Amino acid sequence: MSHSTLTIGLFGFGCVGQGLYHVLQNSKGFKAGIKKIAVKDPHKKRSLSANVFTFNKHELLEDPEINLIVELIDDADEAFQIVKAALQNKKHVVTANKKMLANHLEELLHLKEANGVSLLYEASCCGSIPIIRTLEEYYDNEQIHHVSGIFNGTTNYILTKTLTEKLSYAEALKQAQEKGFAESDPTNDVEGFDPKFKAVIIALHAFGIIAKPNSILNLGITTLSDYDSHYAKEKNYKIKLVPTIQRFKNGAVSLFVLPKFINADHALYAVDNEFNGVLVDGDFSGEQFLKGRGAGGNPTGAAVLSDISALSFGYHYEFKKRQQLEKNTLTQAVSLKVYIRYATLLDLEQLKISTIYEQYTSEYYNYVIAQVDLRELIQSRSYILQHQLFIALVGDTIALSEAFINVEQMVQLN
């Protein structure tokens, strides 16, 4: 295959933009030229000469010589305007912006098709882990059963520190911010929005579905208390924030983000600190596991470089799972086995739990292990956050028709 020359217009010269610059300078055998870099703050000191930079996006978007826009800014709304204009101007695009992608997948796919250009975004999901291209190319013909994992390094760092070093949630968050893993406003990470955006993107490539982020449940780790960490330690569990995308026999796919108790024989147990891990379970290949650096300038820059390199050989995503005859559809009708730390019985009534396997009450805290309908959790999200309930997955997800059978069986066994 021939190798085409790419002239890059780069948006953003922060953590990832500088990482890409460094990776490009130091990669052997492949050279792509950055013609201009668009940034925002005219007063910031830069490590490159001033004439490389511009504060006017049109200098890049309207330049006929630039045939690739690499979008690495931290403003999802502005990123969407940039990417949209670039595609309309028939320029290829590489981006790392998961929030922008997850919120506009349908429109972006249409724009890229209509303009005959490529849109690649490996760096948007789990940094250096090549999950998008693995799903697109390796699993193109194999039916996938589920994809799950640790898609967010900030929360994994906080959870590791609270469990292994007994730091409180607030202390661990402060440490993550000091080390540069967490942003000053960590809401997107700690409330589980960031892993949800990644899961929405992954669901497109693994199952061919486009889910609207607003309709997907994300419960993060903001309500984690020392009692929950203590419970996990007592049972030899670790707590991880795990997006789960699972396909059932009838082609229905469920998708949600919840904390999960993980035991020592689970692949995610050993994924600590800022690392990410992705589990893919295929019908024929079985479970496979990828672990790597989910963030940081160089690892994320490496994923961007890989997209640029693929583009130079004419690569584009084919979204093969969207073309399969048997279409998958999104379902929320699933039952989850969860740990719920609650304050009063009203909390349990609100969540309409269906089967209680275990219940503990004390003067300090209460919990149940119970079955709950995902739709009840979605409806009660604000209630859960307001009343500081901590909810974590402890078992498999079951589609509701299967759930009834299993729950009945469990009741008989009890």
Ligand X SMILES: NC(=O)c1ccc[n+]([C@@H]2O[C@H](COP(=O)([O-])OP(=O)(O)OC[C@H]3O[C@@H](n4cnc5c(N)ncnc54)[C@H](OP(=O)(O)O)[C@@H]3O)[C@@H](O)[C@H]2O)c1
Distance of alpha carbon 157 from alpha carbon 65, whole angstroms? 43
222 φ/ψ angles, rounded to the nearest 5 degrees: -65, -20
The CB-of-95 to ligand X minimum distance in angstroms stands at: 7
Going by C-alpha positions, the residue among 244, 3, 291, 237 that lies closest to residue 146 is: 244
Of residues 8 and 38, the one with the C-beta less far from ligand X: 38
The CB-of-250 to ligand X minimum distance in angstroms stands at: 35
Of residues 55 and 313, the one with the C-beta less far from ligand X: 55
Instruction: List b or e across 361-385, with b for residues whose CB sees 16 or more CB atoms inside 10 angstroms.
Output: eeeebbbbbbbbbbbbbeebeeebe
- Residue ranges binding ligand X (CB under 6 A): 11-17, 38-41, 44, 72-75, 78, 96-97, 123, 127, 295-296, 300
Query: Choosing from 112, 198, 238, 321, which is the catalytic residue?
Result: 198
Distance of alpha carbon 9 from alpha carbon 119, whole angstroms? 14
Of residues 63 and 281, the one with the C-beta less far from ligand X: 63
- 198 catalytic residue (yes or no): yes
Of residues 17 and 195, the one with the C-beta less far from ligand X: 17
Q: How many CB atoms sit inside 10 A of residue 35's CB?
A: 16
The CB-of-111 to ligand X minimum distance in angstroms stands at: 19
Cβ-in-10-Å burial (0-12, 13-18, 19+) of 74 comes to: middle
Secondary structure (3-state) at 411 = helix
Of residues 77 and 142, the one with the C-beta less far from ligand X: 77
The CB-of-227 to ligand X minimum distance in angstroms stands at: 32
The CB-of-49 to ligand X minimum distance in angstroms stands at: 15
Of residues 127 and 208, the one with the C-beta less far from ligand X: 127
CB 400 within 8 A of CB 373: yes
Secondary structure (3-state) at 332 = coil
- In angstroms and rounded to an integer, the radius of gyration of the C-alpha atoms of the chain is 22
Going by C-alpha positions, the residue among 139, 137, 84 that lies closest to residue 115 is: 84
Q: Annotated active-site positions, please? A: 198
